[in-house]
Structure formats: structure tokens, C-alpha cells
């Protein structure tokens, strides 16, 4: 991948996963080439890479759009996270360092601060960072890689649809998980993470049902 292609690819990918380019947004090669100051060739190569990742799709008449983000996909991702994340957290528990405990404790305090300020986006970022810090200690790196891939989709849902209710009650759950990790209670960590992810899945399903009914009514 050339330097110009990588620049265009990374810029567009960031805009898609951050929700700045919404599902269904059209990508016009000539406009993108002008915007990035490149020829259409790096744009086409970058879009081709985004297509392989499922972030854009080719429509009839060579129309390219940001891939739709159906609620069903979010539900499937949440179900997989429910199955995998309790295992990862339990495996991490004996290996979490004092530094990681301090980091996650600070993140919990930050979550409370930004939540009080009404900054949902900052809260969501710290929420995901809490889990990143915890899973750094998980020995099974293939498991962690799978979880991180799934969470990229979850992050996109939060950025595009602002699923505030899914995270709003999560701070207490995370504080409980943090205490159990500090006590090195693997079985209790497993159950606490499972309960947290189960609640998140229920909230997400409720949002999906509301969106489906709203679409049907419209």
C-alpha cells in the first residue's frame, strides 16, 4: 500500500468507525481525491481495502456507500461478547498488576467525572479503555484479539446510534468487577462480567426492538 493510499485509507476508516461518515453515506472518488490532494488511484485502492473490511460496499452503477449498520449485527456481536469476555476477564485476574489496578481505578473515577458532566462520548471511551487495561493481562491473546475485533463493531454502534442506555448503568458493574479482580477471585470475576454483559445485551436488544418498530411505523 503506497503512502498516499494508506493516508486516504486510514483517514476514511477513522471517519467511518468514529461515526463521522454515517451508514449509507456516498463516497465520490473525484471529491475525495480533491479533498485529500491525490489522484483518483489512491482513493480507489483505499476504498477497495475498506470494502474487504466490510466498511463500504459497491452499489449498482459503481456507487460506493458506507456499509449499513443493522441492529441485528449489534445484537450478534453483543451475544458473542457475552460468551467470550467473562472468560478473558477471569483468565486475566491472577496476572493483573498493581499498575493496571491503579490505571483501571483512575478510569473509574474519570467515568464518574465525565458522566456527571454529561459527556457520553468521553464516558464510552473510558469504558472501553477500562476493558483494554484489564485484558492486557489475559494470557490467551487470540481470545483477546477476537474480543477487540468484536468491540470495534460495538464502538461504531455507540458512535453512530449513541446507545447511552447500554452504558449508563455500567459504572457500578465495573467497580464491582474491579474489586473482585483486586481480590483475585476468578470465579466471581467471571460471574460479574457475565452479569454485566447480560445486562448490556438486554439493553441492546431493547434498543434494537425500538428501532425496528420505529422503522416499521415509518
Cell 473510558, residue located: 126
Q: What is the DSSP string of 110-152?
A: HHHHHHHTT-HHHHHHHHHHHHHHHHTT-S-HHHHHHHHHHHH
Residue 183 pLDDT > 80, yes or no?
A: yes
Q: What is the pLDDT, as a whole number, of residue 54? A: 86
H-run or E-run covering 63: strand 63-66
pLDDT greater at residue 51 or residue 158: 51
Secondary-structure class of domain 3-66 per CATH: mainly alpha
Q: How sure is the predictor about 203, in pLDDT bands with cuts at 50, 70 and 90?
A: confident
The ranges of the chain annotated as CATH 1.10.10.10 are 3-66
CATH architecture, domain 71-217 = Up-down Bundle (1.20)
Per-residue pLDDT reduced to its tens digit, 68-114: 888 888 899 999 999 999 999 999 999 999 999 999 999 999 998 99
Mean pLDDT of the chain: 91
The ranges of the chain annotated as CATH 1.20.120.530 are 71-217
CB burial class (10 A; 0-12, 13-18, 19+) of residue 47?
Answer: buried
Residue 117 pLDDT > 70, yes or no?
A: yes
Q: How far apart are CA 64 and CA 42, in angstroms?
A: 15
Residue 215 pLDDT > 80, yes or no?
A: no
Q: What is the DSSP string of 181-208?
A: HHTT-HHHHHHHHHHHHHHHHHHHHHHH
Q: How far apart are CA 88 and CA 1, in angstroms?
A: 34
Per-residue pLDDT reduced to its tens digit, 18-45: 888 989 999 999 999 999 999 999 999 9
Cβ of 123: how many Cβ atoms within 10 Å?
24
Grid cell, residue 191, equals: 460471574
Residue 118 pLDDT > 90, yes or no?
A: no
Amino acid at each position: 500500500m503506497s503512502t498516499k493510499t494508506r493516508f486516504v485509507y486510514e483517514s476514511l476508516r477513522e471517519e467511518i468507525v468514529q461515526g463521522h461518515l454515517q451508514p449509507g453515506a456516498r463516497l465520490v472518488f473525484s471529491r475525495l481525491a480533491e479533498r485529500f490532494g491525490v489522484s483518483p488511484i489512491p482513493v480507489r485502492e483505499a476504498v477497495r481495502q475498506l470494502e474487504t473490511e466490510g466498511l463500504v460496499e459497491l452499489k449498482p452503477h459503481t456507487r460506493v456507500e458506507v456499509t449499513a449498520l443493522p441492529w441485528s449485527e449489534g445484537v450478534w456481536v453483543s451475544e458473542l461478547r457475552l460468551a467470550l469476555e467473562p472468560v478473558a476477564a477471569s483468565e486475566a485476574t491472577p496476572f493483573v498488576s498493581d499498575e493496571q489496578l491503579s490505571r483501571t481505578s483512575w478510569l473509574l473515577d474519570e467515568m464518574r467525572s465525565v458522566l456527571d458532566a454529561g459527556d457520553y462520548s468521553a464516558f464510552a471511551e473510558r469504558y472501553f479503555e477500562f476493558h483494554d487495561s484489564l485484558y492486557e493481562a489475559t494470557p490467551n491473546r487470540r481470545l483477546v484479539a477476537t474480543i477487540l475485533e468484536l468491540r470495534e463493531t460495538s464502538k461504531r454502534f455507540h458512535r453512530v446510534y449513541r446507545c447511552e442506555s447500554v452504558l449508563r448503568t455500567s459504572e457500578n458493574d465495573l467497580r464491582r468487577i474491579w474489586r473482585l479482580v483486586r481480590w483475585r477471585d476468578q470465579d466471581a470475576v467471571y460471574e460479574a462480567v457475565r452479569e454485566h454483559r447480560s445486562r448490556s445485551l438486554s439493553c441492546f436488544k431493547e434498543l434494537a426492538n425500538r428501532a425496528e418498530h420505529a422503522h416499521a411505523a415509518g
